[in-house]
């Protein structure tokens, strides 16, 4: 199993764009820094508990992330 994580700022920007695309206000709790930090902390705790490899995808293209995962599995 491989865990993926992202910076608070990157996820916040993604979520704000998603809210805008849906016609919802930027202020929705879905995109608040506090909520994102709580979610990322929970994810870190789970990944630490199971001991999986973690890849930070904050500044990576999907293809780069896929390549890292394939390298991990030796393909």
d(C-alpha 58, C-alpha 5), whole Å? 7
The H or E element spanning position 3 is strand 2-5
**Beta-bridge mates of residue 4:** 55
d(C-alpha 62, C-alpha 5), whole Å? 13
**Nearest alpha-carbon partner for 58 in 17, 9, 2, 19:** 9
Q: For 32-60, write each residue's pLDDT tens digit.
A: 999 999 999 999 999 999 999 999 999 99
Residue in this structure with the two tokens 């990322």, named with its chain if needed: 40
When pLDDT is cut at 50, 70 and 90, the band that residue 19 belongs to is very high
Q: Alpha-carbon Rg of the chain, whole angstroms?
A: 14
State the chain's mean pLDDT as an integer.
95
pTM above 0.75, yes or no: yes
Q: What is the pLDDT of residue 26?
A: 84
When pLDDT is cut at 50, 70 and 90, the band that residue 75 belongs to is low
């Amino acid at each position: 199993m491989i865990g993926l994580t992202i910076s608070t700022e990157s996820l916040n920007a993604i979520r704000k764009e998603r809210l805008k695309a849906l016609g919802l206000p930027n202020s929705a709790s879905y995109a608040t820094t506090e909520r994102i930090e709580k979610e990322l902390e929970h994810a870190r705790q789970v990944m630490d508990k199971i001991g999986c490899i973690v890849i930070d995808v904050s500044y990576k293209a999907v293809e780069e992330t896929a390549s890292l995962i394939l390298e991990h599995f030796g393909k």
